[in-house]
Amino acid sequence: MWSFFHKLGSPPWLFGIAGSILRWLVPITLIALAVGICWGLLYTSPDFRQGNSYRIIYIHVPAAVVALAGYYVMAIAGAVSLIWRMKMADIAMKSCAPIGAALTFLALVTGSIWGKPTWGTWWVWDARVTSMLILLFLYLGVVALYEAFDNKAAASKACAVLSLVGTVNIPIIYKSVDWWYSLHQPATIKFTDESTIDPSMFYPLLLMIVAFYGLFTCAMLMNMRVEILARESRTKWVRKLVGG
């Protein structure tokens, strides 16, 4: 167990293992995305109330779910880097932020496009939309904070604190549809109760959620590899790797 943690802290080991995971994870993710997109776009029947506009769900929900989960990953990595000063945790935290921002942006934009035919407006200051917008600013805040410091250690500490403080927002997003009057519908996929979504819509949605988790993981591992290379550019193993 401890040797695993030791390996996790070793840049060349992490660089190599991330590379070998990416070799099979990227094709699987791309296939899952392609199948899920075609399934949702062309092969499911329309919603009886929303018509075809509901097909945006296959992008909107996975993007939002993974954007939230990604925040936890970033905050946990931040905590590890803050407490144990683990360099690789800092790299993981830094790698999450731009991906989370892109997915939150995607969830907001697709939600806005879906809102027009369904709610009759592009934007509404609804509790869930507003808390998602805050999530976007938190992600962008971490990205910007990294750039703002010249001192790497100080940047990493500040970003870890920001991401930890920001976790307060996550349960608010989850619970926003129950706590406030909202245009968003309450959850239709439930773990403890029977889901109120039709299986013909549920399976493609589930596939897309899994595919988006794959997308997040791939992008994060790729970002980590770049960051490791950049930070270790003066070391022997990187020079050997590049020099061949």
Contact residues toward another protein (CB under 8 A) are 26, 33, 37, 41-46, 51-53, 55-56, 59-60, 63, 99, 102-103, 105-106, 109-110, 113-114, 116-117, 215, 218-219, 222-223, 225-226, 229-230, 233, 238-239, 242-243
Q: Are 104 and 139 in contact (CB under 8 A)?
A: yes
The smaller minimum CB distance to another protein, of residues 82 and 111, is found at: 111
Minimum gap (Å) between residue 72 Cβ and another protein: 19
Burial class of residue 45, CB neighbours in 10 A (0-12, 13-18, 19+): exposed
Instruction: Spell out a b/e string for 172-204, using b for 16 or more CB atoms within 10 Å of the CB, else e.
Output: bbeebbeeeeeebeeeeeeeeeeeeeeeebeeb
Minimum gap (Å) between residue 102 Cβ and another protein: 5
Residue with tokens 């040797």: 3
The smaller minimum CB distance to another protein, of residues 113 and 164, is found at: 113
The smaller minimum CB distance to another protein, of residues 63 and 82, is found at: 63
The smaller minimum CB distance to another protein, of residues 71 and 114, is found at: 114
Minimum gap (Å) between residue 126 Cβ and another protein: 18
SS3 assignment, position 85: coil
Minimum gap (Å) between residue 96 Cβ and another protein: 12
Minimum gap (Å) between residue 194 Cβ and another protein: 26
Residues linked to residue 47 through DSSP beta bridges, in sequence order:
51
Q: Are 183 and 126 in contact (CB under 8 A)?
A: yes
